[in-house]
Amino acid sequence: MSDRLGAPGTATPTATRSVGDLVRAAVSGWLGTALEFMDFQLYSLAAALVFNKVFFSSNDPAMAVVLAMATYGVGYVARPLGAAFFARIGDRLGRKQVLFYTILLMGAATTLIGVLPTSDQVGILAPILLVVLRLAQGFGAGAEISGAGVMLSEYAPANRRGIIASLVALGTNCGTLFASGVWALLLGVIVEGDVVAWGWRLPFIGSALIMVFALWVRFNLKESPVFEQRTDVVDGRALSREEMIANATESGDTRTLEAAHRKPVKAVAVSFLLRFGQAGNSGMIQTYLISFITVTLAMNKALGPEIVLVSSLIGFLTIPLVGYLGDRFGRRRMYIVMSSLSLLLIVPTLLAITSKEASGVFVGYAIVHNISVLGLASLENISLPEIFGARNRYTLTAIVREIAAVIATGIAPIVAAAWVAATTGSAIPIIALLGIFTLCALVAAVWAPEWTGRDLTDPRSAM
């Protein structure tokens, strides 16, 4: 194998990087995404288990739980704001610099949660500080996974972008599993009273080790080769719109002039629908469906975490496989295949789950989770960066990704819970909502032209 990446051709950057550079970029993307999802999973479990006792002194235990979960949701509100702020800087000054600061902000906020005073010590100041750190965590995370996807797409050879960018999606599994494992170990070796008193701090403080390693990797990471060879980048900084147009007019750069005067309306719409479909399925399956199995179907509470664990382990095969197939057959075609397969399997998998047989629940959940969530996530992580043009790739990827996710994941579980309650526990609302979200992704893929392997130095969007 050659020690240089980037075969000649219009779809491959001419500013090449070594295999070592690509490995560093891949590890950087994987670490950042793993840390992001580990941080959020650590927090979600802490909010459910101890934060109602540590940060919210209330005579009403139910209200304390509501307040603890509300602080969990605050982080998601901050994500689109962070996406817009950091991604714009990333398009102007480079991806490397921004990715260093997003992981620093995200990791530092998580670590500091572990040293916060409790409400018994400082009263109302404790939950206020918790909300501030949660906002900072979400603000940094808003541009993290999008930035990792953009960086890997711009590093990888055109014919391997899908399999390499799938590492970002694998990071989500790693982070979630690691956080769940840490909490399981904590609860298994420390008595409940000590967990509430001091044990809950250990996972948050310990996350600093991963943050430091990730910062070291990113500090030694080279800038994206696509960013370096953009025609509108001079001395590491993107020109203003006026300067860009003037330069393009003088040099006869028709691609840049076309990009400057053409709004990427279809590219934004297609990307939004692709993301909206996957995020909606994720909210339904990874959030609501577990609650449905535990509460509505009244099955053993231990079953939910076990199902998620098994299905996530299967995802370590699903995610890279779908990424490879996207490289081999085209991402548009794979979106159509995976979305169509998802539509066909929604009813059978939900019937298996509602059978209340443990084997049926495991198989049904694993199939719908891997196809409708993880498979589409593997395609999405590389598709959004490929669809957008070079000048605004990071900004548009991050904003579309976070806004679609906030809407879909915010609405889907609430609508599902209300609709299921109104139908006295029927699975029909779940089937209908999963069908709607999956159709969004399918319609977008059918509507769009193929975008796989295109020239990422092109300032124009793919459609």
Q: Classify burial at 59, counting beta carbons within 10 Å of its beta carbon; exposed 0-12, middle 13-18, buried 19 or more.
A: exposed
Residue 18, phi then psi, degrees to nearest 5: -75, 165
Q: Residues 410, 76: contact at Cβ < 8 Å?
A: yes
Residue whose entry in the numeric block shows the structure tokens 């972008």: 161
User: Taking Cα atoms as reference points, which of 305, 315, 321, 454 lies closest to residue 383?
Assistant: 454
SS3 content of the chain, % helix, strand, coil (to 5): 80, 0, 20
How far is 174 from 52, CA to CA, in rounded Å?
27
Task: Provide the pLDDT for residue 67.
Answer: 67
User: Taking Cα atoms as reference points, which of 96, 87, 100, 86 lies closest to residue 222?
Assistant: 96
Residue type, 283: G
* 3-class secondary structure, 203: helix
> Would you give the end-to-end CA distance of the chain in angstroms?
35
Residue type, 71: T
Long-range pairs of 244-249 with CB within 8 A, sequence gap ≥ 24? 244/391
The pTM is what?
Answer: 0.87
User: Taking Cα atoms as reference points, which of 266, 280, 232 lies closest to residue 387?
Assistant: 266
Task: Provide the pLDDT for residue 70.
Answer: 67
Q: Which residues contact 28 (CB under 8 A, 6 or more apart)?
A: 99, 148, 151, 214, 217, 218, 221
Count CA atoms within 13 Å of residue 127 on its CB side: 23
Write the CA distances from 413 to 366, 367, 419, 434, integer angstroms: 19, 20, 10, 11
Question: How confident is the prediction along the chain (463 residues), in pLDDT tens digits per residue?
Answer: 333 343 334 444 456 678 888 889 989 989 988 988 888 778 877 876 788 788 876 555 656 656 665 666 677 788 999 999 999 999 999 999 999 999 999 999 999 999 999 988 888 888 889 889 989 999 999 999 899 999 999 999 999 999 998 888 888 888 888 887 888 788 788 887 888 889 999 999 999 998 999 999 999 899 999 999 898 999 889 999 999 999 999 999 999 999 999 999 999 999 999 999 999 999 899 878 887 888 788 887 668 778 888 898 999 999 999 999 999 999 999 999 999 999 999 999 999 999 999 899 999 999 999 999 999 999 999 999 999 999 999 999 999 999 999 899 878 888 888 898 888 889 999 999 999 999 999 999 999 999 999 999 999 999 9
Question: How many contiguous H segments (helices) and E segments (strands) does the chain have?
Answer: 21, 4
Task: Provide the pLDDT for residue 268.
Answer: 98
Count CA atoms within 13 Å of residue 427 on its CB side: 19
Task: Provide the pLDDT for residue 266.
Answer: 98
A 10 A CB-CB count for 183 gives 21
Domains delineated in the chain: 15-224 (1.20.1250.20), 259-447 (1.20.1250.20)
Task: Provide the pLDDT for residue 409.
Answer: 83
The runs of H, that is alpha helices, within 94-159 are 95-113, 119-122, 125-141, 144-155
Task: Provide the pLDDT for residue 252.
Answer: 92
